[in-house]
Amino acid sequence: MASVWLQRMRSRNVSPNYHTYNTALAACLDGKLESTFIASKIATEMVEDATRELACGLKGIANYKSALPDTYTKFLGRELMKQLRENWRNGDIDMALAKTTTRVPLLKMVDFDKEIPPEALNSIQCDLPEDDENESSDQDYEFSLLAELHKDDHRTAMV
């Protein structure tokens, strides 16, 4: 359910912030192996968003827009790794497989640093910011059309 929530947000062009990621990761702390796989996928998405944020900058208030992992995120990552360890101790997954696949994104999230290597900067694509001037000119044009339409003192019906 947690990853579906994030997919719905992205389909509506809403970027998740660290509060959203923390909620989704906390929902995965139920002891199930499947939830750990989902948390690993969410951790991958969060690290990608945080890396993009560091490379391209943040536009807006950090508390609402930032995807950088905070201390609670790192705590959740450690708890999810403990959950994964319990899963391999119970025989749900092979330890070597868990360490090479599922645990890697969780470790990246826990060890996330606010510095990007220079070679990684070249591979990150930043979205170009929308042209606010062009958007306001479109709104001005639409307003002028509405003003022209309602110029008369009486109402006219257009068919």
- Whether the per-residue pLDDT at 69 is higher than 60: the answer is yes
More confident residue, 91 or 159: 91
- Whether the per-residue pLDDT at 67 is higher than 70: the answer is yes
- Whether the per-residue pLDDT at 155 is higher than 80: the answer is no
C-alpha dist (Å) from residue 146 to 33, 39, 47, 135, 141: 58, 50, 46, 17, 9
The average pLDDT across 36-42 equals: 95
The torsion angles phi and psi of 156, rounded to 5 degrees, stand at -125, 140
The 10s digit of each residue's pLDDT in 3-18 is 888 899 989 988 899 9
The 10s digit of each residue's pLDDT in 71-88 is 999 999 999 999 999 999
The average pLDDT across 14-31 equals: 93
More confident residue, 58 or 117: 58
Q: How many CA atoms lie within 13 A of 86 on its CB side?
A: 14
Amino acid identity for residue 16 in this structure: P
Mean of all residue pLDDT scores within the chain: 83
Provide the whole-model pTM: 0.73
pLDDT > 90 in the chain, percent: 50
- Whether the per-residue pLDDT at 1 is higher than 80: the answer is no
Tally Cβ neighbours within 10 Å of residue 149.
Answer: 10
Residue 40 CB contacts under 8 Å (≥ 6 apart), including other chains: 80, 101, 102, 103, 104, 105, 106
CB 22 within 8 A of CB 73: yes
Instruction: Say what the pLDDT of residue 131 is.
Output: 47
